[in-house]
Structure 1
Amino acid sequence: MSRKEKLPKKKKSFIRRLFKWTGFTLLFLLIAIILIPIIFKDEIKEMVLKEVSKSLKADVTIKDFDLTFLSTFPNVTIQLYDTKVTGRTEFKGVELASVKTIEAHVGLWDVIGGDEIEIDEVHISDAKFDVRVDPDGKANYDIVIPTEDRPVEDQEPSKFKLSLQEYSLKNIEIVYDDQASDMYANIQNLNHTGSGDLTADIIDFETSTQMDELTFEMEGLSYLSKVKTDADVNLLMEFKEDDSKFTLKENSFKLNHFNMSLDGFYQMLKDHDQMDLKLNTKEISFKDLLSLVPSFYQSGYESMVAKGDLKMNGEVKGRLDEKNLPGWDFGLNVKKAMIQYAGLGSISNITVDAGSKFAGGSNLDKMTLDVTKFHSEFVGNLIDANLKLRNPMTDPLIDSKLKAKVNLATIGKVMPLAEGESYKGKLNADVALNGRMSSIEKEQYEKFNAKGLIELFDFLYKSKDLNEDVNVKDLTFRFSPQNLSLEKMHASMGKSDFAMDGTIDNYLGYLFGTKKEDQLLKGAFNFNSNNLDLDQIMGVSSSSTAAADPASAEPAPVDPNAEPLLIPENVDFNLNTNVQKLHYNGIDIHNMKGNVNVKEEVASLNGLTMNTMGGTVGLHGSYSSKDHNKPAIDLGYKLKEIDIQEITSHFLTIGKLAPVAKYAKGKFSSDLNMKGDLTKALEPIYNSLSGDGDFFTNMVTVSGFEPLKKLGDALSMDKISNQTFKDVKAFFSFKDGKMSLKKPLKIKLSGIDTEVTGSTAFTQEIDYKMVMQVPKTMIPGGIIKAAESGIAKVNGISPKLNIGSIPDIIPVNALVGGTVTKPVIKTDFKEALLKATGNLKDNLKEKGKELVDKAKDSVKTLVKDKVDEVKKDLVAEKNKILADAQKEADKVKAEAKKAGDQIRAEADKQCTAAMDEAGGNIVKKKLAEGTCKELKKKADNSANKLDQEAQTKADNIMKKAQEKADALK
């Protein structure tokens, strides 16, 4: 065959080899894709947890962890599932973050090399963030430990490095509660993406944001309420050593239907910031603006017709540093506007001319605020107002007027109302304010013009959200420079009526004062009611307030997100109350009188008295919310002839302080003083409570109380289980989570003189000692007969011996431990009886040493034999119970160990088979090693789980056996 004829065969052989090695390469890559996550998964997880533990002062838990690059090849994807970050110290137990999924993309060779892992993408989905700042400025997100504060071994640089090119947030909920700055924000269903090379010095950064709801409040004012938000923002970010500049490129913001954009830049220089930002609202209409007003947007907005000329401008420009603020110019002008809902009348002649200006710099006193005109008309009603404010930082000049004449019944003629909602009545307002705050501060009231009044007549408001209609017969507020006077108010809700009058002083200083000390709002009010049914007003049914079984009553679940009742810091109010009849929480209260003072975040009760629960109650003390996260109480009461069952069923805290009250019937009197802290849901923090008090009752019966029942069983005296106590006087104190008797409590238990000392923990553990003087006549006949028979035998040793009989009173000690529902009783009843019958020394002193010794030995032997016999039987029975239980527990653990060994052996068998199959193939061997590692890990986990379950079961077996043995007397 010629050379030319052989050439095609060589070509065919080359193509075959090419396909062969291409196939091997693809196979190798496929094996690597499967193998690498298995080999490096645990190492990456350990690295993540190590970095977290050394750098954060918070508890981090990760339920599951995964590593793959099937969908992101050649990058590796790290996936964390159900990650939670929980605070320590001041924010202990608060979940800063709860994230369903965190996904990070890293380079393949970073994972294999392991020296440094660069993260170029992060994606977070289905997460909740609870961000809090307490009144002192401490934030729960401040959880990163500074490098210098870490142990030396943890100060090495992190192996993770952010080199983000892209990130995203999906289905995120954020709550931001900043109590130091009085700011609150709530974001529901946030979806956000960002992309750009964040490692570069010049970055084209593109973001897109959507929120279903955005709420923002500050200093008690609501700026945004559940606003749907969309924002696309493109930034040019330029980073230099002492200069970073952010320039807004194409961008748009949409708040409900309100569209706007921003032009300009923000620049961070070495010693100050510079900005020039301008609001662009050329395309918005009057109706778009109204979409930001909840009352319009949430009631038929789509079908609403709104017309009018609208101009809106906004600009912030200038320098920002520690002393200077940039200047601004904001303005809103609405003319010839109207609003009309389908089928309803119109709100017409709407005019708004408002704005604020500041040239910039450090002198905010040059800021101006003007509402030159605010006017609207509807169905014969009108509202007219204006406001001018100058020199707000030094000596505010206020010039404002308000006129309104509204027939409230016509509101439903121009605005759609909720189902079941209606208004009636007339509102008149004519108020004028003009002057400088300095005139008020100097009490030069003639230089400040403040006059006018607000009146409300025959007001009736109905709503399905209210349990009762609100009816205000008349209300008059009168304005003067000195105060705002509530001259009269007569109102009713359901069966309740109330009247109120009083004054509010320094209302102008509160609104416009420049110093904190000038902003104190003072007030004094009188509140009177013939009948006040708070249960009806709050919609509490009689069945929900009915007394439950005292023995099983438990507090209602506490809302973990509940907020405490906060007392304002800049008010000083006095409220004098006089309520003839009050119904609250199922309790009828009569003749409630007293004073409540609210000042500097503390509400104080002064001389508050009432008749209720069959007796009288006096309250004094205070509630403080200075620590917003942990309110405090310093309270006291004086109770006289109160029904025990009533107070226990309505106030479940009594069951913590005195568990026996649940099982008692009768009346009692008590004085108590108590200090302590409360949770945010106003539940007592029991370990913080301290105080003392006393308790007195003429007569009380107790039945079903387990410690008494167990005591009766221990003494073989059933009648002790149910008791009637007379003339009981107890003195107690409580501290560190327990209530203790300050002095021995003397009572009679079925005629037995008893002295009680000890304590009850708020967690229901009890620790009491009872010294009982038990009459011989109350000791069961069988026990007495056995003891007297022994004495007769001793006397039979010699006719000359005549040992005395059992004394009439035998002192017995009882120790009461365990818990209220599972008490443990220990007594020295038998020992006390033996001691009472065996003290023969004095009786035999004159009978001769031999007879005495013989008699003593005989009695001691007789008693000892009897005691030893009883003890021997008890010990034998207890030992048998414990031995049988130990056998059963050992058997359980042995069976678990055997099962675990079988699981591990099966894993070893499968591992050996995999390694044998791999042979000398390096790839197969590495794959087999990974398989072995997973098999053994799962086997160990399963075996350990069996051991733990068996140990728990064995412990329970021994615990029950010990309880059974301890119960033997």
Structure 2
Amino acid sequence: MKRLLSILLAVLAIFIIILFTVPIIFKDKIVARIDQEIDKSVNAKVHYDLDKVSLSSFKRFPSISATVADFGISGNAPFEQDTLLSVDQFQVDLNLWSVIFNEYPELTGLHLKGGNVYIKVLEDGTANYDIAVSDGKEEIPEEPSAFKLGIDLIEVEDVNFIYDDRQMKFFMALADFDMTGSGDFTLDVYDLLADVETQIIRLDYEDVNYLTQKKFTADTEIQVDLKNMKFGLARGEFGLNEFLFGLDGFIAMPDEGMNMDFTFEGKDNEFKSILSLVPGIFTESFAELETSGRMDFGGFVKGTYQEKQIPQFDINLRVEQGMFQYPDLPQPVKNVNLDLEVKNSSGNLDLTQVNIPEFSLQVGSNPISGRFLLEDLVSYKMDGQLKGQLNLEELTSIFPLEGMDMKGMLDVDAKAKGKYDSVAKVIPAIDAKISLNNGYVKSEDYPAPIDQLHGKASITNSSGQMKDFLVDLSSFGFELEGEKVEGNLKIQDFDQLNWDAVIHGSADLGKILTILPMENVIMEGKVRADIDSKGNYKVVEAKQYGQLDTRGEVELVDFYYTDADLPQGVRINKALGDFSPEQVNLIEFDARLGESPVKAKGSLSNYMSYLFEEKGTLSGNLDINSSHFNVNEWMTESSATETDTTELSLIELPRNIDFTMTVQADEVFYDNLVFTNTRGVLILDDGILTFKDAALNTLGGQMTLNGSYNTQDIQTPLFDLNFNVQSLSIQKAFQSFNIIKAFAPLAVNMDGEFNTDFRLSGILGQDMMPILSSLDGRGLIKVAEAALKGSKIVEGITSLTKLKEGNTLQFKNLNLTAEIKEGMLNVKPFDVKLWDYKAQVQGSTGFDGSINYLVHMEVPAKKFGSTANNILSNLEGTSADEETMIPVAFNLGGTYQKPKISLAGESSMESLLTNTLKAKAGDEKEKIKEELTEQFKAREDSVKQELKQKAEVAKDSAKKEAEKVVDKAKDKAVDEVKNLFKGAFGTKSKSSSDTAKSGGSE
């Protein structure tokens, strides 16, 4: 017996040793196989650290578990900036025996713990999850993945999930997603046991938000039939917050449409469960909320969903004698009764019926009751009633409103019956009266209340005809520390919409904001308004705005406003304007926009068309003055600071503004430039800003601009400008303008001034900088006097020729005729003196920094010293002597910083001198020059063709970048959701040992 026990203990010990050693022995094999499968199967960048890969035989015996910390997948273009998957811990389970005995491991489990998943589908259907390597054919690749699947468990823990489908206009964000799924996933038909818990941050469809901040749970058994694409729920228990419901049935997805048959019913028939879906009530203190009453919920969805067909459905919700009360507040909301049915038995969405035969509740001592029936969504035949009172003071004893006191009585008594038909000019008969008396709102943050809040309105139509419709807001107003606002409004005839409105009074905006705060908003100042308006919508439709009698005056004093989207802030010391039907006169405007003081006056016309028409254009004439204006802080995402490195961003011009502006500014700051004595006329019309004689001083010189800036196509914003420049510093211009850095790199070593009359057009990037490959331009550049020092090109020429003339060149009266086309600056042949020698230069500079020039220079033979003398002594019967001029031609290639300089047509100076002196004797010097020029032009044509292709690639890249920026507004919504995840989507810093696996072709 002891011997048997010893044997068993020995076997057990050996088995445990094997379990410990197998992960060590086979780690390299498993990791190598994972690498191989990633490279073969994944067309994306897979990030993980080999040092953070661990194996264990004990986590899921008899499987061996491979765990990777900090595992991530990021996509290729156009998803370079989006991380598809980033998890703290990624674990795969592999069949132990397949690891030991088989060539290919068998995958049995997947586990994700902590991290983020971001699925993104663009409007054209391109998806960032489409990362599987494809052979370019529709059929299955000949060599599928060698991994065998035996998965029976999938676990996800604490993962944030965003699904952003811009093609379907569907957006869903889930936080802290937990799921356990078990089943035999290798079969076509299997049962999946799933347990899910998550927080729905947001769920939108077709730009409509359906769910926000809801806890979701699911415990269900799904019958999966992959062959027939049918998914059934044998049992399903789901929850939204505390609202639990069961769901049974199936959904099948044949080739067209979706077939479904579901029934559902409430699982916890208490009033508190349905109450948990109300955002203002489901708070941290919800668990302590006292409630009573019953709730019944149930219904079905059955039929086919297609483009023009929906399933039949019937949804019922009933609440009986509901009550809730906050534990620290004295009064409840009680006697809550609701009977709701939404049904459709036709399959046509327009024939959906909504019926609320009973609705009632009691808020404090005041009852509210109503009913509503909507027969369909075609004739809009309805019958509804709402009646009740709400005591605002009692409201604060029912709902927790910290730091807020309210008083007043709100009365509502409304009835509506009939149908709405715009063609027959029929509307429901309406009799509604709404009033607020003795209103009072006070915040603990401000000592004085908004007092004397009142309003009285009636909406009536006894006949059901549009012409008898009347809205009479006979009075409304309030008072704050002695300042009153009063007004009234009357609208008659639902077809004509005749209105008569009056508003008079003044208010302190800062005080109002203190009492009624808005998040991230700072506002202060006083507004005074005296406005009377009469008119009707038929006149608006006919665009006869002169018949709209709107007149009055508005004054704004000591106004300041800033919010999250306007961090620079706007301060208006005083603004005064008056209204007439024809125009708005800006009598006075004294403001500071960000850090820039601005004064203006002028007039705006066609403002009624601008207000009432979708494409109405606002016209105006303005005189604008500023002592200094900082453009940079309005072109970046954050206000400018000394350390701000935010790139400039594109300014989009409105299409429905037609302004002529006379502008004067003592200083204007743009990028790293300072413009002084700026003046000119700017015309903004249909998204195009036109400059007329816009003059300014900068970089020690004067500049006048004429031309345009066009953002009609925001993806390819255009500019077309004529620059007239006088006495501009060459060195400062090089430091300030990217165009000069790219096309005139010689200027880095040149001192002096230049004049130019140059026309330039092209595409602007999203950073407001010209896209060099898109430029077209032509003009004359004049340099009166300049010095070139320390140039590598000059050093190269002196080194090649052995001429000891120094590394400084002086230029006088230099005239260059230049043209920019297809990303290349072409310089026509021009004469210049290099040292004391006559020279001619021609060639081009590419937007990529490449240079390609031909220099012809004539040098006296005596300058070449003994080399020339020896050649001359051997040339018999020639008239050549030391004073004979030697034509020397150079090819300049490479880049300005790394020039490649060679003799044109010759291999050495000796052969050049020999052949040239012989040519002198035969009068063939000009012929040689022509041949060299023809060779240069042929080579230049080849360079231009290559550069043209590069320019097209660069422009296409810029266009894609613009598309990303235009899509930024949608990405901003995603970023806001990510912020709610408390930084969970932040980029993790990678150590030097991180390994980035890029599977497939990128």
Give TM class, smaller chain: 0.5 to 0.7
1:270 maps to amino acid = T
Unaligned runs of at least 5 residues, structure 1: 1-10, 289-304, 512-517, 548-554, 796-800, 844-941, 943-969
1:579 maps to amino acid = Q
Does the 8 Å CA contact 1:504/1:521 hold for their aligned counterparts? no
Inter-CA distance 345–578: structure 2 relative to 1 (3 Å threshold): same
Note the alpha carbon deviations across 1:175-229, whole angstroms, 9 max, x for none. Answer: 9595996x999x7x94221345587988785543358x8799998x9999xx977
1:763 maps to amino acid = D
Match of 1:443 in 2: 543
Inter-CA distance 161–501: structure 2 relative to 1 (3 Å threshold): farther
Match of 1:588 in 2: 675
Inter-CA distance 640–504: structure 2 relative to 1 (3 Å threshold): same
Match of 2:843 in 1: 758
1:270 to 290, 299, 304: 304
1:471 to 559, 572, 576: 572
Does the 8 Å CA contact 2:572/2:589 hold for their aligned counterparts? no
Does the 8 Å CA contact 1:77/1:103 hold for their aligned counterparts? no
SS at match of 1:520: coil
Match of 2:221 in 1: none
TM-score, scaled relative to structure 2: 0.61
Measure the CA separation in 2 of the matches of 1:139 and 1:355: 51
Match of 2:733 in 1: 647
The size of the alignment, in residue pairs, is 766
Inter-CA distance 279–831: structure 2 relative to 1 (3 Å threshold): farther
Measure the CA separation in 2 of the matches of 1:450 and 1:160: 78
Measure the CA separation in 1 of the matches of 2:523 and 2:403: 15
Between Structure 1 and Structure 2, the one with more strand by share is: 2
1:832 maps to amino acid = L
1:71 to 59, 67, 86: 59
1:622 to 698, 709, 713: 709
2:559 maps to amino acid = F
SS at match of 1:141: coil
- Offset of residue 353 of structure 1: 8.8
Measure the CA separation in 1 of the matches of 2:25 and 2:894: 57
Does the 8 Å CA contact 1:106/1:119 hold for their aligned counterparts? yes
Measure the CA separation in 1 of the matches of 2:458 and 2:797: 78
Match of 1:771 in 2: 856
Inter-CA distance 153–16: structure 2 relative to 1 (3 Å threshold): same
Does the 8 Å CA contact 2:558/2:571 hold for their aligned counterparts? no
2:84 to 97, 107, 117: 97
Note the alpha carbon deviations across 1:362-398, whole angstroms, 9 max, x for none. Answer: 999999999978987564657889999999xx98969
Note the alpha carbon deviations across 1:115-144, whole angstroms, 9 max, x for none. Answer: 9966654415334748473xx545543736
2:162 matches 1:86? no
Matches within 5 A, 1:708-857: 708-717=794-803, 719=805, 721-741=807-827, 743-776=828-861, 779=863, 783-788=864-869, 791-792=872-873, 804-827=880-903, 829-838=909-918
1:42 maps to amino acid = A
* Farther-moved stretch of structure 1 (44-53 vs 123-132): 123-132
Match of 1:141 in 2: 128
1:503 to 590, 594, 604: 604
Does the 8 Å CA contact 1:633/1:676 hold for their aligned counterparts? yes
Does the 8 Å CA contact 1:137/1:180 hold for their aligned counterparts? no
- Offset of residue 712 of structure 1: 3.6
Inter-CA distance 412–746: structure 2 relative to 1 (3 Å threshold): same
- Offset of residue 812 of structure 1: 0.6
Does the 8 Å CA contact 2:532/2:551 hold for their aligned counterparts? yes
Measure the CA separation in 1 of the matches of 2:755 and 2:717: 27
Match of 2:156 in 1: 168
- Offset of residue 788 of structure 1: 2.8
Measure the CA separation in 2 of the matches of 1:473 and 1:633: 36
Inter-CA distance 422–725: structure 2 relative to 1 (3 Å threshold): same
Inter-CA distance 39–419: structure 2 relative to 1 (3 Å threshold): closer
- Offset of residue 770 of structure 1: 0.9
Inter-CA distance 705–25: structure 2 relative to 1 (3 Å threshold): closer
Match of 1:209 in 2: 198
Match of 1:531 in 2: 626
SS at match of 1:631: coil
Measure the CA separation in 2 of the matches of 1:645 and 1:355: 77
- Offset of residue 452 of structure 1: 6.7
Measure the CA separation in 2 of the matches of 1:747 and 1:358: 92
Match of 2:508 in 1: 407
TM-score, scaled relative to structure 1: 0.62
* Farther-moved stretch of structure 1 (416-425 vs 401-410): 416-425
Match of 1:597 in 2: 684
Note the alpha carbon deviations across 1:127-186, whole angstroms, 9 max, x for none. Answer: 4748473xx5455437367999635452788767797865436464869595996x999x
Does the 8 Å CA contact 1:475/1:490 hold for their aligned counterparts? no
Identify the structure with bigger relative contact order (alpha carbons < 8 Å, sequence gap 6+).
2
1:597 maps to amino acid = L
SS at match of 2:392: strand
Does the 8 Å CA contact 2:708/2:721 hold for their aligned counterparts? yes
Match of 1:239 in 2: 250
Inter-CA distance 533–563: structure 2 relative to 1 (3 Å threshold): closer
After superposition, the CA RMSD in angstroms is 6.1
- Offset of residue 418 of structure 1: 11
Measure the CA separation in 2 of the matches of 1:697 and 1:764: 22
- Offset of residue 86 of structure 1: 2.1
Note the alpha carbon deviations across 1:920-958, whole angstroms, 9 max, x for none. Answer: xxxxxxxxxxxxxxxxxxxxxx9xxxxxxxxxxxxxxxx
2:718 to 633, 637, 653: 633
Measure the CA separation in 2 of the matches of 1:487 and 1:316: 58
SS at match of 2:630: helix
Match of 2:614 in 1: 519
Does the 8 Å CA contact 2:549/2:580 hold for their aligned counterparts? no
1:533 maps to amino acid = H
Measure the CA separation in 2 of the matches of 1:258 and 1:642: 71
Measure the CA separation in 2 of the matches of 1:358 and 1:720: 99
Measure the CA separation in 1 of the matches of 2:160 and 2:757: 53
- Offset of residue 649 of structure 1: 3.2
1:579 to 661, 664, 684: 664
1:662 to 742, 748, 752: 748
SS at match of 2:763: strand
Measure the CA separation in 2 of the matches of 1:714 and 1:737: 30
SS at match of 2:748: helix
Does the 8 Å CA contact 2:830/2:841 hold for their aligned counterparts? yes
Does the 8 Å CA contact 1:97/1:130 hold for their aligned counterparts? yes
Match of 1:126 in 2: 115
Indicate the percent of aligned positions where both proteins have the same amino acid: 13
Measure the CA separation in 2 of the matches of 1:760 and 1:449: 63
SS at match of 2:746: helix
1:626 maps to amino acid = D
Note the alpha carbon deviations across 1:338-365, whole angstroms, 9 max, x for none. Answer: 8999998857659799999999999999
Does the 8 Å CA contact 2:560/2:572 hold for their aligned counterparts? yes
SS at match of 2:130: coil
2:912 maps to amino acid = A
* Farther-moved stretch of structure 1 (415-424 vs 752-761): 415-424
2:760 to 664, 667, 673: 673
Measure the CA separation in 2 of the matches of 1:366 and 1:67: 75
* Farther-moved stretch of structure 1 (461-470 vs 707-716): 461-470
